[in-house]
């Protein structure tokens, strides 16, 4: 027969082992969920930037601001939604596919048939350092066919106004 005196505190030790496993899994789920939120937000950022880049004039800073969830004033240095995302991480390329099937970058609005917005160099910082302190994100990109690239349609008798890239 086992004495009750020798079993004193066994529940505490068992709880400590189970709680450690439970909270480890719980924090891993929280970090994974945060990472998935950031990955989805980065995908949405490239989509937003590409959507603005196909209608704004070449060289406009508006698509980069839209991509980081900023405003068109360009006053934001970092994204208010994705911590650490800056306009410098957003690249906008205009290109066309020549008859030989080669992707050729261009700055000529008449030649540009596609717009690609990509985000590179983003590092997601973990709130709970389970496997290190940060995770490097892969490159995110979105490619769309160009539309107007800032051209404003004019009708007979209507003056042509400057391109407006409002959102």
pLDDT at position 142 is 95
pLDDT at position 76 is 76
pLDDT (average), residues 96-115: 88
pLDDT (average), residues 112-117: 92
* Contact assessment for residue 167 and residue 62, using Cβ atoms and an 8 Å cutoff: yes
**Who contacts 132 (Cβ-Cβ below 8 Å, separation ≥6)?**
126
Instruction: Report the share of the chain in percent with pLDDT over 90.
Output: 35
pLDDT at position 90 is 94
pLDDT (tens digit, 9 = 90+) per residue, 60-93?
Answer: 888 898 899 887 666 778 888 998 899 999 999 9
- The model's confidence at residue 5, banded by pLDDT at 50, 70 and 90, is low
Instruction: Report the share of the chain in percent with pLDDT over 70.
Output: 81
Q: Where are the domains of the chain?
A: 11-145
Higher local confidence (pLDDT), 136 or 3: 136
What are the respective helix, strand and coil percentages of the chain, to the nearest 5? 35, 15, 50
């Amino acid at each position: 027969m086992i004495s009750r005196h020798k079993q004193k505190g066994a529940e505490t030790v068992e709880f400590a082992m189970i709680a450690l496993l439970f909270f480890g899994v719980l924090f891993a789920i929280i970090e994974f969920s945060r990472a998935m939120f950031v990955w989805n937000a980065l995908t949405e950022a490239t989509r937003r930037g590409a959507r603005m880049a196909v209608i704004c004039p070449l060289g406009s800073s508006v698509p980069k601001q839209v991509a980081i969830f900023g405003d068109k004033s360009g006053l934001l240095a970092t994204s208010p939604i994705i911590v650490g995302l800056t306009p410098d991480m957003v690249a906008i390329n205009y290109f066309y596919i020549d008859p030989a099937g080669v992707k050729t970058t261009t700055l000529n609005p008449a030649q540009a048939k596609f717009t690609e917005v990509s985000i590179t160099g983003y590092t997601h910082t973990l709130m709970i350092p389970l496997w290190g302190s940060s995770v490097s994100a892969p490159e995110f990109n979105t490619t769309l066919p160009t539309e107007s690239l800032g051209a404003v349609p004019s009708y007979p008798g209507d003056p042509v106004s400057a391109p407006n890239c409002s959102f």
